[in-house]
Amino acid sequence: MEANLELQHNGAICTLWLNDPDSKNALSPALVHEFTQALETVLNDHSVRVLVVRGRGDGFCSGANLSSFAKTGKPEMELEVLKESRALANLFYQLNHLSKPVVTVVHGYAFGGALGLIAASDYTLVEEKIVMSFSEVRLGLVPATIMPYVAQRLSAGKMRELMLTGRRFSSEEAFTLGLVSEVAANEKVEERLNKVLKDLLSGAPNAQTTCKTLIAETRCNHSFVQMADATSRILAEMRLGEEAKEGINAFLEKRKAAFNRSDEL
Residue 178 Ramachandran class (φ > 0 left, ψ -120 to 50 alpha, else beta): left
User: Over the stretch 84-141, which tens digit does the pLDDT of each residue have?
Assistant: 999 999 999 999 999 999 999 999 999 999 999 999 999 999 999 999 999 999 999 9
Q: Kindly list the strands in the beta sheet with 102-106, ordered across the sheet, starting from the edge strand earlier in the chain.
A: 5-10, 13-18, 50-55, 102-106, 123-127, 182-184
One domain, residues 216 and 254: yes
Handedness of CA 221, 143, 98, 182 (dihedral sign): negative
Give percent of the chain above pLDDT 90.
Answer: 84
Domain count, the chain: 2
One domain, residues 41 and 122: yes
One domain, residues 209 and 248: yes
The amino acid that residue 147 corresponds to is: M
Write down which residue in 149, 168, 200 finishes a domain. 200
Q: What is the pTM of this model?
A: 0.93
Could you tell me the residue range of the domain that residue 251 belongs to?
Answer: 204-264
One domain, residues 255 and 137: no
Q: In the prediction, which pLDDT does 136 show?
A: 95
Find residue 110's DSSP bridge partners.
61, 132
Q: Identify which of 100, 123, 48 has the alpha carbon closest to the alpha carbon of residue 207.
A: 100
Tens of pLDDT, residue by residue, the chain (265 residues) = 457 999 999 999 999 999 999 999 999 999 999 999 999 999 999 999 999 999 999 999 999 887 766 665 565 667 888 899 999 999 999 999 999 999 999 999 999 999 999 999 999 999 999 999 999 999 999 999 999 999 999 999 999 999 999 999 999 999 999 999 999 999 999 999 999 999 999 999 999 999 999 998 887 766 788 888 888 999 999 999 999 999 999 999 999 999 999 998 8
One domain, residues 162 and 254: no
Contact indicator for 31, 20 with CB cutoff of 8 Å: yes
Q: Identify which of 107, 101, 133 has the alpha carbon closest to the alpha carbon of residue 197.
A: 101
